[in-house]
Amino acid sequence: EAGVVQSPRYKIIEKKQPVAFWCNPISGHNTLYWYLQNLGQGPELLIRYENEEAVDDSQLPKDRFSAERLKGVDSTLKIQPAELGDSAVYLCASSRGTGSFNEQFFGPGTRLTVL
């Protein structure tokens, strides 16, 4: 089966510009996660979806970040406007079940550089 697909793989933008990331989870996985991974750190959850509902967005900086998962499949994460500190890898993951004990399958990530 195909893995989690993310695009683009790399993105370079100037500060104050908008940027969007796209994720296609594994077919049949109803739970989708967006993580932020700073250099030398582990992934940190930004938002978790169960189907099309955002069930945990407590760590999403809502002044500049937004996300959507229309129809409970693909998802997009947007930053507007981007700041220098947003430079990081943005990871998307999916799992079949809703419990935190379920294995999460990760995409390769989008490496964002803000100049």
Partner 1 sequence: AQSVTQLDSQVPVFEEAPVELRCNYSSSVSVYLFWYVQYPNQGLQLLLKYLSGSTLVKGINGFEAEFNKSQTSFHLRKPSVHISDTAEYFCAVTSNRDDKIIFGKGTRLHILP
- Point out which residues bind partner 1 (CB under 8 A): 3-4, 40-45, 48, 55-56, 91, 93, 98-101, 103-109
Q: Whole-number minimum distance, CB 80 to partner 1, in Å?
A: 25
Smaller CB separation from partner 1, 81 or 108: 108
Sequence-separated contacts (24+) of 64-73 with Cβ below 8 Å: 67/34, 69/32, 72/30, 73/24, 73/25
Q: Name 110's Cβ contacts closer than 8 Å, sequence gap at least 6.
A: 6, 7, 8, 9, 10, 11, 21, 89, 90
Q: Whole-number minimum distance, CB 48 to partner 1, in Å?
A: 7
Smaller CB separation from partner 1, 43 or 86: 43
Q: What is the 3-state secondary structure (H, E, C) of 17-48?
A: CCEEEEEECCCCCCEEEEEEECCCCCCEEEEE
Smaller CB separation from partner 1, 1 or 103: 103
Q: Whole-number minimum distance, CB 75 to partner 1, in Å?
A: 15
Q: Whole-number minimum distance, CB 74 to partner 1, in Å?
A: 17
